[in-house]
Amino acid sequence: METKYASNAVAATAKARQEASTVFLAKVFNWMAAGLSLTGVVAWLTVQTGLIYSIQPLFLPLMFAELGLVWYLSARIDKLQPSTATGLFFGYAFLNGLTLSVIFLIYSGTSIAATFIITAAMFLSMSIYGMVTKRNLDGLGSFMFMGLIGIIIASIINLFIGSSAFDMVISLIGVVVFVGLTAYDVQKIKMMGEQGIMGQGDAAVRKGAIIGALALYLDFINLFLMLLRFFGGGRD
């Protein structure tokens, strides 16, 4: 009898952890979707209003501002108020919309839309894998992070070389890296839900969801940009 009660208790605990994880993942994906939506709207409006031609000289400072926001939000998340963390996340999404608007001047709208759909399908597939796999992806995450560092170094080198072939190789590796990071980040976020973040109060849940959304947002955007180099067609 005691064994039966113990088994029921374990099953109930596992179910509760799974439900908490599902709720937390939903919050993360909702924030991520909101950030992507803001980026897309800002990018489109920046082109449609002609603002892109005015801010082109500011692209480099804007990119440094984006990097600063990501670093600050990631490093200070524990000390920030939930509203501040949310504002920084949307501030980054807004700035990224301004800088990403340039893709509308390079690629056709049809190819951008098609690449977005391909990216969404790959992202969804790897997200599901990250949620359902029993394999610990910590090793994969470390390996993909090293790959990310390699991509950054190779990209800097290619600024001086200017090789289109090298650029395509970097993009191909980038696709693999961000596909892997998507699965790793989703599993990590799932574990945050299972380990009890939902019981730590609204502030902790909000900040945890924001930092998780930022990680997935970056995975999605970078995967999209890498794929765009393969599937993006030039403007007529």
In a domain, 236, yes or no: no
Domain span at residue 149?
2-231
Supply the pLDDT for residue 3. 58
Chain-centre distance for alpha carbon 184: 11
pLDDT tens digits, one per residue of 173-202: 999 999 999 999 999 998 887 777 767 778
| Sequence-separated (6 or more) residues with CB below 8 Å from residue 50 | none
In a domain, 98, yes or no: yes
At 133, phi and psi to the nearest 5? Answer: -65, 145
In a domain, 21, yes or no: yes
| Sequence-separated (6 or more) residues with CB below 8 Å from residue 122 | 179, 223, 227
Supply the pLDDT for residue 230. 84
In a domain, 58, yes or no: yes
In a domain, 53, yes or no: yes
Query: CA nearest 216: which of 177, 181, 176, 173?
Result: 181
In a domain, 151, yes or no: yes
Query: CA nearest 186: which of 122, 223, 147, 131?
Result: 131
In a domain, 197, yes or no: yes
| CA angle in degrees (0–180, nearest 5) for 228-234-236 | 150
- On whether the CB atoms of residues 73 and 212 are closer than 8 A, the answer is no
- Give the count of domains, the chain: 1
Supply the pLDDT for residue 6. 47
Supply the pLDDT for residue 9. 47
pLDDT tens digits, one per residue of 126-158: 999 999 998 988 888 888 888 888 888 888 888
Distances (CA, A) of 165 to 72, 94, 155, 168: 35, 32, 12, 5
Counting as low any pLDDT under 50, the low residues of the chain are 6, 9-11
